[in-house]
Chain A
């Protein structure tokens, strides 16, 4: 972990039990300011619970949470009240207030309110009472409420819930923009493809434990690469490649090489055996596949 940058969030030995069930076991992670961190894991993994603990909404059984080096607990979380914006589970909305009035509850700055309304293109309905909002409109308002104060840390729990593709794209864009200016994001989601494009770091949790924390760069390295080759004579091609010690299998009408290999020698091997090549494709596992594989490997 880089020590030069300011540590935004530091969680050490966090444990939480509900009755006799332990839902968080010894959770540890840390990330620095200006990062976009994805908190991913299957349903019931403990994402929301971790976020609530970070906000001082939940009494924990053990462990230490610090945001900007200041302690966070149910009774002491001044740093949360001043530096953090959050959307947890579902947006906190009073049906009798308009969207604009919700923003007024959080900030006095009309400039910031206008900015956030524009950023989410809510101009058309922001003055309508929230009881007449659709699911996605409420969700946008919830995110807007987390951002309107321009907090240093923004915690978003499943922010893409109910948003249409354009809105998701706009949200992603906004998050990246704000992160460039120094805002730190902790975002949970199980729609990984939506997070993949913007996050710097992934924290994978399952059954209340942190399985791994990696930067996207590290992920790219560990992502498996595979090569797909289609030839006129797959059966002979398979024999030739196996003889040359390539880790190859036949799948349907394709030959698959499951290791990163140099392409030219491999093609030479085939061509030297007078096998005609129809198609070559290179695949890299995406984040989702890697994570699912890691989860599956853990279960096994």
Chain B
């Protein structure tokens, strides 16, 4: 597994997207920061705690990277070479999953650093120590948001990997992945509102788990939207992640090459 992961890292860092992604993120954050600095202090605090939109962009980038990292092996026909180097093909899948999660951690670091810098330049009229949500400092809020976003990524990347191991080109997997992540929440709310009687079961649907981070930012979501506590959302995310990765790994290993 160690050697496999090393190989994956080697391939990954020679891809342009691996180096481009942080640059794109930083630019997008800076763009939003410029408009944000003219707004009220409370709005600014919201922007800061959500890393100037960085987490959202990061999710899109991770979906793109995750999907192409799986489908490229089939596109280039390199899966055969990989498969004869390991005894079980699912180890390749899990190795890639670990790589993308690791990269997600790195990117979150970049996003946090950039947020610190951007606030230094623009938001001087309030401090990191100011108490924001949950009686915690603004900085603590930012870090918690990052952690929750990373945690949510565990399920999202799992879902994208599952989609990618079913599809024949990365574009399809990316499109569906991005679509699901951004429409999924709406679909879930709609489901929960339409089938009130099935609520006890329906509230565990995977799309509902996307609300993890938002529920932290808007505690009222528990009553109105998700009907699950933060802890329950956390467990749900993990269980669905395991499910997606498990099914994805089986499909990946069975795929004809």
Chain A residues within CB distance 8 Å of chain B: 52, 55-58, 74-78, 80-81, 84, 86, 88-97, 101, 104-105, 145
Over the window 72-93 of chain B, the binary record of Cβ atoms lying under 8 Å from chain A Cβ atoms (1 yes, 0 no) is: 1000111111111111110000
How far, in angstroms, from A76 to B84 measured CA to CA in the complex? 11
Beta-carbon contact of B257 and A75 below 8 Å: no
How far, in angstroms, from A129 to B221 measured CA to CA in the complex? 51
Given A90-B77, A101-B14, A105-B11, 20 further pairs, Cβ under 8 A = A52-B80, A55-B80, A55-B84, A57-B80, A57-B84, A58-B256, A77-B84, A80-B84, A81-B84, A81-B85, A81-B86, A86-B81, A88-B80, A92-B82, A94-B11, A94-B76, A95-B76, A97-B11, A105-B10, A145-B81
Interface centre among B72, B83, B84, B88 (most CB of A within 10 A): B84
How far, in angstroms, from A105 to B14 measured CA to CA in the complex? 12
A67 to chain B, nearest CB (A): 12
Beta-carbon contact of B76 and A76 below 8 Å: no
How far, in angstroms, from A92 to B82 measured CA to CA in the complex? 9
Beta-carbon contact of B83 and A57 below 8 Å: yes
B182 to chain A, nearest CB (A): 29
How far, in angstroms, from A78 to B89 measured CA to CA in the complex? 12
B7 at the interface (CB under 8 A from A): yes
How far, in angstroms, from A77 to B86 measured CA to CA in the complex? 8
Residues of chain A within 8 A (CB-CB) of B257 are 52, 57
B15 at the interface (CB under 8 A from A): yes
Number of interface residues of B (CB under 8 A): 23
How far, in angstroms, from A101 to B88 measured CA to CA in the complex? 24
B157 to chain A, nearest CB (A): 21
Q: A56-B84, A81-B85, A97-B11 are in contact. Are A89 and B77 (CB under 8 A)?
A: yes
How far, in angstroms, from A95 to B15 measured CA to CA in the complex? 10
Beta-carbon contact of A77 and B87 below 8 Å: yes
How far, in angstroms, from A186 to B89 measured CA to CA in the complex? 24
Q: Is the interface of A mostly helix, strand, loop or mixed?
A: loop
Residues of chain B within 8 A (CB-CB) of A75 are 87-88
Residue of B nearest to A155 (CB): B84
Residues of chain A within 8 A (CB-CB) of B86 are 81
Beta-carbon contact of A104 and B10 below 8 Å: yes
B135 at the interface (CB under 8 A from A): no
Residues of chain A within 8 A (CB-CB) of B121 are none
Residues of chain B within 8 A (CB-CB) of A91 are 77
Residues of chain B within 8 A (CB-CB) of A77 are 84, 87
B16 to chain A, nearest CB (A): 7
Residues of chain A within 8 A (CB-CB) of B89 are 74
16 A–B contacts, CB within 8 A, in A order: A52-B80, A55-B80, A57-B83, A58-B256, A77-B87, A78-B87, A81-B84, A81-B87, A84-B84, A88-B80, A89-B80, A92-B76, A92-B79, A92-B80, A92-B82, A96-B16
Over the window 8-24 of chain B, the binary record of Cβ atoms lying under 8 Å from chain A Cβ atoms (1 yes, 0 no) is: 00110011100000000
Residues of chain B within 8 A (CB-CB) of A74 are 89
Contact of B87 among A76, A96, A97 (CB under 8 A): A76
Residues of chain A within 8 A (CB-CB) of B82 are 92
Residue of A nearest to B76 (CB): A94
How far, in angstroms, from A238 to B114 measured CA to CA in the complex? 97
How far, in angstroms, from A56 to B81 measured CA to CA in the complex? 12
Q: A80-B84, A105-B11 are in contact. Are A92 and B16 (CB under 8 A)?
A: no
Beta-carbon contact of A93 and B78 below 8 Å: yes
Beta-carbon contact of A92 and B78 below 8 Å: yes
Residue of B nearest to A18 (CB): B256
A21 to chain B, nearest CB (A): 14
How far, in angstroms, from A55 to B83 measured CA to CA in the complex? 9
A191 to chain B, nearest CB (A): 22
B61 to chain A, nearest CB (A): 17
Residues of chain B within 8 A (CB-CB) of A89 are 77, 80
Residue of B nearest to A105 (CB): B7
Residues of chain B within 8 A (CB-CB) of A76 are 87
How far, in angstroms, from A57 to B82 measured CA to CA in the complex? 10
B50 to chain A, nearest CB (A): 33
How far, in angstroms, from A89 to B15 measured CA to CA in the complex? 25
Residues of chain A within 8 A (CB-CB) of B76 are 92-95
How far, in angstroms, from A105 to B84 measured CA to CA in the complex? 13
Q: A88-B80, A89-B77, A90-B77 are in contact. Are A96 and B85 (CB under 8 A)?
A: no
How far, in angstroms, from A78 to B86 measured CA to CA in the complex? 8
A238 to chain B, nearest CB (A): 58
Beta-carbon contact of B78 and A86 below 8 Å: no
How far, in angstroms, from A75 to B87 measured CA to CA in the complex? 6
How far, in angstroms, from A198 to B81 measured CA to CA in the complex? 26
Residue of B nearest to A146 (CB): B81
Residue of B nearest to A89 (CB): B77
A148 to chain B, nearest CB (A): 12
How far, in angstroms, from A101 to B7 measured CA to CA in the complex? 10
Residue of B nearest to A95 (CB): B76
Residues of chain A within 8 A (CB-CB) of B256 are 58
B74 to chain A, nearest CB (A): 11
Residue of A nearest to B15 (CB): A96
Contact of B77 among A80, A92, A105 (CB under 8 A): A92
